[in-house]
Amino acid sequence: MDDEVNVTASASDNVAVSEVDLLMDEVITATIASAPYTLSWDTTKYSNGTHTLQSKAHDAAGNVGLSATISVNVNNQLSPATLKVAITNPLNGSTVSRNQKVAINATVSDTVAVSKVEFYVNNNLLGSASAVPFSYPWKVPGKRGQYSIKVKGYDATGNNAIQVINVTAQ
């Protein structure tokens, strides 16, 4: 992924060019005092979509010349999400007491915002949380046996990640 693009302007004058301004969306982004008039443009500082580029040359006498405006399309690739889900309570393989409330706790992290975390037991949705701490109370059934606990986290870009553990009710 190359988010740095070289933008080069050419300018000439019958005496001398004193400086060249490079404008991005009509705002001076850089002033370059000598040729070559090149700017390394970090496109990640601009939103995806159409932007305008233009150069403005100055000479020693105070004269100014503007280039034609060109349109460019910025299409920065999003960094891959690193969504991670970890159930911190109860622990995988642990024993829980029947008819007791157990807090299902999870840590969920990502390079972008976490939007929602869902809590399941035996693939039945118990509920969800949208803010830290990611926790949900589970009333353990009165029946002995194995239970599968699943936590599914979602990020703002639509990615999801899951962790599943098993506990035994005694």
**DSSP letter string over the chain?**
---EEEEEE----SS-EEEEEEEETTEEEEEE-SSSEEEEEEGGGS-SEEEEEEEEEEETTS-EEEPPPEEEEE-PPPPPP--EEEEEESPTT-EE-TT-EEEEEEEEE-SS-EEEEEEEETTEEEEEE-SSSEEEEEE--SS-EEEEEEEEEEETTS-EEEEEEEEEE-
> Is-above-0.75 flag for pTM?
no
Residue 149: per-residue pLDDT: 97
What domain range is 102 assigned to? 84-169
Residues 68 and 121 in one domain: no
Residue 1: per-residue pLDDT: 44
Per residue in 105-154, pLDDT tens? 999 998 888 999 999 999 999 999 999 999 999 999 999 999 999 999 99
Q: Residue 109 belongs to a domain with what CATH number?
A: 2.60.40.10
Per residue in 35-70, pLDDT tens? 888 888 888 778 788 999 999 999 989 999 999 999
Residues 156 and 97 in one domain: yes
Q: Pick the last residue of a domain from 74, 95, 114.
A: 74
Could you tell me if 26 and 57 are in contact, meaning their C-beta atoms sit under 8 angstroms apart? no
